[in-house]
Amino acid sequence: MQQTDALIVIDMQNDFCPGGALAVSGGNDILPEINAMLGQFPVRVLTQDWHPADHASFAANHPGAAPFSMTEMPYGPQVLWPVHCVQGTSGAAFHADLRTDPADLIIRKGFRAAIDSYSAFFENDHKTPTGLDGYLRARGVTGVTLAGLATDYCVAYSALDAARLGYGVTVRLSACRAIDLNGSLADALAKMRAAGVTFI
């Protein structure tokens, strides 16, 4: 592993694992592989969805709206999700089996009530930065490997932004799981492939 390589572990939180509010099927099955990967990279980052209870992406905050329906936000189309990963709740906590001690940095995202945040690098307006890019550049990182949840949303958005920012990008598909909402997985894989993302 090169000293310029970083591992970014996306949203391995209770609400995205079986039994959680927005569970990804098999989400906890990838924890052993992710834990092993954390020992293989010189730079290790964890991301954490961290929403206020009044977040605009929650269907419950739009009277009459059903979870997984769509709405228009000032920054574009937005899926309305079940309430999940609310700040300070057990659902927002990292899964107990995730090794968090090796992490150099934890990036919290989605804490602005008016805008959702899938990517580890930008809010969903694709302009408001999380600060991760600056951190990685300060560490001399040129390549990133992504793992975690979910392949077709937060992992894919992070991979596409990393490629756009000029990093070499690898997605460890065996260490990811997808929501696959209305064909979202195939669409995400196609977009990542077109952007030059490498799959393992």
Catalytic residues: 11, 109, 154
Give a three-class secondary structure readout of the chain. Answer: CCCCEEEEEECCEHHHCCCCCCCCCCHHHHHHHHHHHCCCCCEEEEEEECECCCCCCEHHHCCCCCCCCEEEECCEEEECECCCCECCCHHHCECCCCCCCCCCEEEEECCCCCCCCCCCCECCCCCCECCHHHHHHHCCCCEEEEEEECHHHHHHHHHHHHHHCCCEEEEEEEEEECCCCCCHHHHHHHHHHHCCCEEC
Contact by Cβ (8 Å): 63, 41: no
Among 68, 86, 90, residue whose Cα is nearest residue 78: 68
